[in-house]
Structures are given as structure tokens and as C-alpha cells.
Amino acid sequence: MNILLTAGSRRVPLVQAFRQALRSLRMPGAVIVTDVNPLSPAVHVADRAYHVPMSSDPDFLPELRGICETERIGLIVPTIDDELPLMGRERAQFAAEGILVAASSESTALLCNDKYETCRHLTAVGVPAATSWLPGELPAALLASEATLPLFIKPRGGRGAVSAFPVRTAEELAFFLSYVPDPVIQEYLDGPEFTLDVLCDSTGTPLSIVPRERVVIRAGVIDRGRTVNDYRLIQLAQDVCKAIPFNGPINIQCRIRGGQPVVFEINPRFSGGIPLTIQAGADFPRMLVKLAAGQRVMPAIGQFRSDLWMTSFESSFFLDASRVRFNGGSEPLLEEVA
């Protein structure tokens, strides 16, 4: 059971979690990553690492298939939004080759990558979601008092909290509408923020749901937080999974408004805070490895350690220039990627 994590980047804990999953299940196998940069930390933790082009490059998929053949991959875990629609589209073909792709369908990935359409879709089926507008819809909404300051603005297809800003005045609104690329404007939700980590099987059935309060956030990723066994949050995740078909890991972002959790975006992939969920006893990597091995995994909703805190810190690798290379396939040196 060799496992391939794409876009390894800084996902060192995820590499380690899959390696531990293999050990705990007594399955021989390796954890392999792809990346575009040999300086990515996960490259130096994985058993082997391969250089691949960006997912928009026509050579991306052929190179990925070549790695799967060479390494006898049984499970692919895409980790970056850009790759999700492509991997969702190719999921059936990989399955025919005996490879489980832990990703939702192309249509689900495209829907979730569009923050405006995500909230519109959820609202239409009765799931609480942030009221959202495009720039052309905003003047009429303001005039009708449907939209009131403060608001929140961000890129319609962005990630990592890049170019995401609260808007408190008309002057700020005018500025950020011209500053933020392809913006979506949402109602301002100022209650506690939560991530709902969810793992679904191939039928879209949630196997595990773990809500986490995001107490301190740095660059869009949880820095300090805790698990919370709250029925309202678990029920919201179940409602979202009924509204949208998922497969594999997803994370739902929400805030509490008037005692009710309200979704403001969904990412159909592992979250940056997944180490806390795994440490709390909801071992998503282990479940995925079992699914890839053809084993049955029963739902375990609410079975995790509540009120477990995580506080994070930076760690570094120190590499001689001769070690700044991939150890699988081609081996570009530091000078070649500078």
C-alpha cells in the first residue's frame, strides 16, 4: 500500500500521519509526495518525493500516472484546491487501475472552489450559509437594506485568507471592491469560528465529523484551537453532506450567528488543522488506508476526544545545498529552481 500525497508543501504532519497509519495497520508501504519545489519541507520527510509541474500544465496528469505506475500507488490524496477538479474528473479512471483517489467529484470541487455558488447552493436547499453577493448585485442589496455594513470581502476562488478583509465603511468597500481580484462580498459573521473536519466514504456517507474551534489563526491556518463535541456543529456537517455529494476529506468553515452555526465556505480536502482531529482519535488517514485496502469502515460520528487543545509552533530543516533535490525521478538542484 503505497500512498501518494500531491502538493506536499508544508504538510509534514499529514505525511507522518499516513506513515503511522500504515504502521498501525501493519501494512508495508511508503508515503510519497509530489511538489514543484525541492525546498518544500514534506519533500524531506516523505519516503520519496517527485517533481511535477503545476496541475494546469498538460504534462501534470501523465507524470502523475507515471509515478503511480512506478511506485505501485494504491491511494492518492490531493491536498490543494487547484488539483481537486482534475483529480475528481479522473477518479473513475484511477479506480479502474486499482487506485483510490480521496477526492470528491469534479462538479463538487468546482462548486466548493466558488465561494459565491457554495453559499447560494446551501441556502437554496435550506442549509444556513452566509448571504453572499457579487459586486454587480451589491448596490441593489444595499439600497434595499438587504446588505448592511460591516461586510466581508474576499476572492471568489481564493484560499489561505489571502486578500480577505472586513469592510466597515463605504470608503473601505469602494477600495476593496477594486483591490480584491474577482471578489465575493458576504455578510459579516463575528461569532466564534469553527472548522468541521469530515471524512466521507465513496457513497458520500460521513464516517467521522470533528468540530474544532479556531481560537488563533495565522495566515488562514489554525495556530491554537480545541475540539468541540457540539451537536449543532455535527448536525450542520451532516446537513452539508446531504446537500453536496462528497468523497474523502472535507473541511467546512462556519461561525456562530445568533446561536446557530452558519457556513461561509467549504474546502473538499484535508484542512491545515487536521493534526488536532487525528490526535483527538478521529484518525482520517487510517480510515482512508483501510478503504483503499478494500476494508469496511463504519461511521463513528461523535467518537473523538472533546476539549483537546492544540498549540502550534514553527520547525525547520537545515539542508546542505547538495541535499536540496527530489529523491524520486528527476532531481533538480537548488540552482535550477532559483
DSSP notation for 92-149? HHHHHTT-EE----HHHHHHHH-HHHHHHHHHHTT--B--EE-GGGHHHHHHTTSS-S
Domains in the chain, ordered, with CATH? Answer: 2-104+317-337 (3.40.50.20), 132-187 (3.30.1490), 190-311 (3.30.470.20)
H/E stretch holding 256 = strand 248-257
- Between the alpha carbon of residue 82 and those of residues 6, 14, 73, 78, 157, the distances in Å are 11, 19, 21, 9, 10
- Number of neighbours of residue 70 by Cβ within 10 angstroms: 14
pLDDT at 338: 34
pLDDT at 144: 82
Q: Which residues pair with 133 in a beta bridge?
A: 185
pTM: 0.93
pLDDT at 33: 97
Q: What are phi and psi of 213, to 5 degrees?
A: -80, 130
pLDDT in tens, 241-290: 999 999 999 999 999 999 999 999 999 999 999 999 999 999 999 999 99
Q: What are phi and psi of 177, to 5 degrees?
A: -60, -30
Closest Cα partner for 4 from 85, 79, 62?
A: 79
Q: At 121, list the grid cell.
A: 447552493
pLDDT at 329: 61
pLDDT tens by residue, the chain, 338 residues: 899 999 999 999 999 999 999 999 999 999 999 999 999 999 999 999 999 999 999 999 999 999 999 999 999 999 999 999 999 999 999 999 999 999 999 999 999 999 999 999 999 999 999 999 999 999 898 888 888 999 999 999 977 678 899 999 999 999 999 999 999 999 999 899 999 999 999 999 999 999 999 998 887 788 899 999 999 999 999 999 999 999 999 999 999 999 999 999 999 999 999 999 999 999 999 999 999 999 999 999 999 999 999 999 888 989 888 778 788 764 444 433 33
Q: At 275, list the grid cell.
A: 493534526
